[in-house]
Structure 1
């Protein structure tokens, strides 16, 4: 599972994420365990909350605090997306892309620095079934409000929202090669390959 991210400055974005995740940088690609982030040029500015974001894993409360502090030192900022009081931190990278730094959770102990790729969904259980077919990953949990697919590396998760997709996703999943055909899932989310 890989992620493609539109960016006004792909190299700056890639450097931020490589530094944050403490992983190698290869041009505009960041190689985390079982996940490659590919940053591609885009002229359109970000106008709405991303429907796809990354959740970062932490091993302890102190580790979570260290990750947040490190992200802020690299140019991230705190974000309020209506989350209220939560045990995780919501941030934006320097290009405005939301991401979370989670409190320690046992299910993410072996994922590497990225715990999950999270997708907003009108119907999480239906999306999980569709993405299970696309990726070959097993559905671990499916409810009306949340669904998850486990596999090697980051989990793929779907969280219920009521807002339908209205613009092209700046953050997209890639199954296989990044340059592969762009397709759409049942809720209209663009993805590469599959």
Structure 2
């Protein structure tokens, strides 16, 4: 597949601080990049990038990260490490009986530390999931776009995963409002072949081209959420 997911990009008021927070949490190096500090991923773990924005955060993100834990004590250690790095506990309506712990990073981006024994994320690695608000159609779109197997398709919830395993990308919940939406997060893709061919293929799968600048093309997925495509 000549298309790969380079990173999930989050807009931040201070990208350097956000990148350092996540580098510490994930044990990754920060790479300086013209489009924002990059924490490279691997065949099994999704990369992260942080890009500057002056816009204020309006409501919960449509995309948030799930970190896994091995034991109850490990979960608490991860939470403590996050708090020491500047995270904070937040309430997004989670119920007391739910085992995951919801936090916000240094820029207010929500993430969860998942309880030990979670079967859905078993074997996915520390960054177990990129959880997205979205429809079943968009999950099917990304399975085809990335060439990743559809590993969950039930009750209007979908998930895809690299053929090598690792971090899952999942969609569910209330569908987003129709129309292109410039959220604080997006998928950054890289075309390892001809980018024009890849744009045409994505459009044939249901994406819409909506613009482009500094060497990248902006498209919207079937839910209207913007993502970018650049050449390797």
TM, length-normalised to structure 1 = 0.89
Relative to 1, partners in 2 of residues 1:81 and 1:162: Cα closer, same or farther, differing over 3 Å? farther
Query: For residues 43-122 of structure 1, what are the structure 2 equivalents within 5 Å?
Result: 43-85=54-96, 86-104=98-116, 105-121=118-134
Shift of 1:175: 2.3
Indicate the residue corresponding to 1:174 in structure 2. 188
Shift of 1:109: 4.0
Moved more, 72-81 or 156-165: 156-165
Shift of 1:14: 0.5
Say how many residue pairs are matched: 192
Q: Tell me how far apart the structure 2 counterparts of residues 145 and 61 of structure 1 sit (CA, whole Å).
A: 30
Relative to 1, partners in 2 of residues 1:99 and 1:179: Cα closer, same or farther, differing over 3 Å? farther
SS state at 1:6 partner: strand
Query: For residues 25-36 of structure 1, what are the structure 2 equivalents within 5 Å?
Result: 25-27=30-32, 28-33=37-42, 34-36=45-47
Shift of 1:74: 0.7
Q: Which structure 1 residue ranges, 5 or more long, are not aligned?
A: none
SS state at 1:25 partner: coil
Alignment deviations for residues 125-182 of structure 1 (CA, whole Å, 9 cap, x no partner): 2221111111111111112342111223310101212563685210111222796312
Alignment deviations for residues 68-87 of structure 1 (CA, whole Å, 9 cap, x no partner): 11111111111111122311
Q: Tell me how far apart the structure 2 counterparts of residues 113 and 165 of structure 1 sit (CA, whole Å).
A: 33
RMSD: 2.2
Structure whose alpha-carbon radius of gyration is higher: 2
